[in-house]
Amino acid sequence: MKKTLFQIFILLFTISCQKDELDQKHNIDGFVQKGPFIQGAEVRIQELSVDLIPNGKTYFTETNNDFGSFSLDNEITEGYTEFVTTGFYFNEVTGKLSNAPISLRGIGYVNSSQKFNLNILTTLIAKRIKHLIINENYSFGDSKIKAQKEVLKVFYIDFSDDTILSFEEMDISGNEISNSILLAVSCILQYDNSEAELSELIQKISSDIETDGVLDSESILNEIKSNSMLLDINSIITNLESRYNHLGIQITIPSFTNYIDKNGDGIIGIHEVADPEYIFDGTHEDHQNTGPYIDDIELTIKSNTENAKIYYTLDGQDPTINSNLYTSPIIIKGDPDGNMTKTTIKSFAIAENLEASNIIEQTFEILYPDVRAPSFNYLSGTHNNSLSIELTSPFPIYYTLDGSTPNTESKLYTTPIPINCLDCISVIKAMAKSPGQRQSIVSTSIFKIDESFNPNDPDIILSNLEEAKTKLLGTWIGYVENPFINKSYGVKIVFNSDNTYNTQVLGNNEREYLTVSYASVFHYDDIFENDPSWSRFYEINTLFDTNSKVNGEIKVGPNDINILDIRLSFNNNFKGLNLIAKFKNASNLIYHLSKLE
């Protein structure tokens, strides 16, 4: 009898202990992440029966910070549990908080105090897990593994990798492979969807795969493909880093681009070589990144795949492994003559045991800008005091003082050039050179310092043509008032004894952006009967015109510029000359000249 009572006691004690174990309460904590949910999002935790039906025991908590953290202490008993949360979140694609709340959920089995993270992936497999357990008699563990494989297959991800965690263990702020997968899927489904559109998309995928684990909707598959290709990966990384920095922690964003099919070929980045990327720094003509570049381009090509080899062409042909192997930056140059150039680069990358990348193509247009010849702060001519000559150009200026043609080996202009030699003839030749290797025409100015020269001396108008011819002979320098371009520019004129003269434009002709020389041949006619102060040029073979150029010289005939006659006047010591070219029905060209020799 005593033995029987003892056995009954032992049995009751065992049953009591088993009941205590079943009634043992467990702690639950975790994160809610789309991007991270903000503080105050409601988290509902409800216990389920073995048939996955709520048993009436429901617990509430909320996220307690902007990382989406939540916890529940000593309340959950062992068994199936469903987690449901609704709240606002940080949108990692836009870099802003959501405008409306969304709901996420997950199914778990609690048998100890544990962590359970709620995210898009736990939401996508919740219905599928229930279906497998109730309708196909799967255990919870097997149903979860199967559902996880099926969902990741939608995104071309293989779940057979042992290093991939269960969905409820993933955390977008971590740097492991699993966390990369969660972030990739989260971004793909978000892309440019509103909160309502995102919620609808999640529910449609969840319902579509519920019974067979296969996503059949072509429209959703196409949306996933399109979103994957259009995601701005760098922007997302920046947004997340900024968000977590704002919250006071620094994180390393996982390389989630490896788990995105960026080119729509059905292969995620980890299984193929990353496409080449072109990195360069150039200046566009219109500063809006749409016009041609105005300088040479140093082009770097890279692939994010480690140890990848890149092959490229510059002739528009598709590259092969027999094409140029990229080893260092490529310099793409324009045409020094100022013509537009178009260079098309094509490249692809390969690496061992991986699919080759796509061929990536980009065309660069380069049009070097016109480079104006340097301008002088003084016009050519005779001056009665020393000068400090300043040269102006947006580009480096090279100059000479010995009459030779300047080049990039000549003296680099850095400070004003002093002209102070009395009765000396100073010739300054200068040119400018742009970074794009295009250089200006040489700009020339001639200066003479004569303390006795007075440009305001009274004029002497000669009525004797022969006397005028005698006084004209020699070299004159000065400047021209040109009403046609509303500018003054330097000029050198040599009057010859054979009734010809040669003229050279000096300095920077701002309309032409270059220095030109031209020759004009004229003959003197008799003095006008009605105006003896005028002498007439009756034949003009060539004369200055800014609209016509042949072989670098400006050429026009007598019909292009209809000059009626030219008036000459000298100052009282014949060191100064005013020459006025009179046009028919037009303003006059006025030459202010001084005798050079």
Per-residue pLDDT tens digits for 235-283: 999 999 999 999 998 888 877 888 999 888 888 888 888 889 998 876 5
Structure-token pair, residue 436:
């794009």
What gap in Å lies between CA 82 and CA 127, rounded to an integer? 11
Highest mean pLDDT among 126-135, 281-290, 465-474, 508-517: 126-135
pLDDT digits (tens, 9 = 90+) for 413-423: 999 999 988 87
pLDDT tops 90 at residue 104? yes
Mean pLDDT along residues 130-142: 94
Which range, 82-86, 113-117, 332-336, has the best average confidence (pLDDT)?
82-86
* Confidence (pLDDT) at 511: 34
Which pLDDT score is estimated for 550?
33
Task: In whole angstroms, give the CA distance from residue 55 to residue 69.
Answer: 26
Give me the residue label for tokens 């255990």: 139
Q: What is the pLDDT of residue 531?
A: 41
pLDDT of residue 182: 93
199 φ/ψ angles, rounded to the nearest 5 degrees: -60, -45
| Unique residue bearing structure tokens 């998309």 | 201
pLDDT at 114 (0 to 100)? 79
pTM of the model as a whole: 0.54
Q: 25 vs 96, which has greater pLDDT?
A: 96
pLDDT for 526 equals: 38
Q: Which helix (H) or strand (E) holds 83?
A: strand 79-87
The confidence score (pLDDT) of residue 7 equals 56
Determine the 3-state secondary structure of 169 from DSSP.
helix
| Per-residue pLDDT tens digits for 19-51 | 444 467 888 889 999 989 999 999 999 999 988
With cut-offs at 50, 70 and 90, classify the pLDDT of residue 161. low
Sequence-ordered list of residues with C-beta below 8 angstroms from that of 150, at least 6 positions apart, any chain: 125, 128, 209, 213, 214
Per the listing, tokens 């405008």 go with: 99
pLDDT of residue 444: 85
Does residue 8 carry a pLDDT above 60?
no
Tokens of 374: 């340097």
Across residues 164-186, what is the average pLDDT?
89
* Mean pLDDT estimate for the chain: 80
Beta bridge partners of 445: 428
| pLDDT higher than threshold 60 for residue 564 | no
Radius of gyration of the chain (CA): 43
Which tokens is 337 given?
Answer: 């003559």
Look at residue 363 and tell me whether its pLDDT is greater than 60: yes
Name the token pair of 428: 């300054």
Domain with CATH 2.60.40 in the chain: 272-366
Which region among 200-214, 344-358, 423-437 has the lowest average model confidence (pLDDT)?
423-437
One DSSP character per residue, 211-278 reads: TTS----HHHHHHHHHHHHH--HHHHHHHHHHHHHHTT-------GGGGS-TTSSS--GGGBPPPPEE
Structure letter (DSSP) for residue 558: T
- Decide if pLDDT at 151 tops 90: yes
pLDDT of residue 543: 35
Q: Pairing mode, if any, of strands 114-115 and 26-31?
A: parallel
In this prediction, residue 368 carries a pLDDT of: 80
% residues pLDDT > 90 (the chain): 43
Q: Is the pLDDT of residue 311 over 50?
A: yes
- Residue 397: other Cβ atoms inside 10 A: 23
The pLDDT score that the predictor gives to residue 508 is 57
pLDDT above 70 (res 306): yes
Residue 127: pLDDT over 80: yes
**Separation in Å, CA 23 to CA 19, 58, 59, 76, 111:** 6, 15, 16, 9, 11
Structure-block tokens of residue 532: 């003896």
246-255 burial, b if ≥16 CB within 10 A, otherwise e?
A: eeeeebebbb
**Fold for the domain defined by 272-366:** Immunoglobulin-like (2.60.40)
Predicted pLDDT at 557: 34
* pLDDT given for residue 461 in this prediction: 64
**Is 50 exceeded by the pLDDT of residue 18?**
no
CA distances 154 to 147, 185, 212, Å, are: 11, 10, 13
Render pLDDT for 457-480 as a digit per residue (tens, 0 to 9). Answer: 777 766 555 676 777 788 888 888
Q: What is the pLDDT of residues 523-557, one digit of tens each?
A: 334 333 344 333 333 333 333 333 333 333 333 33
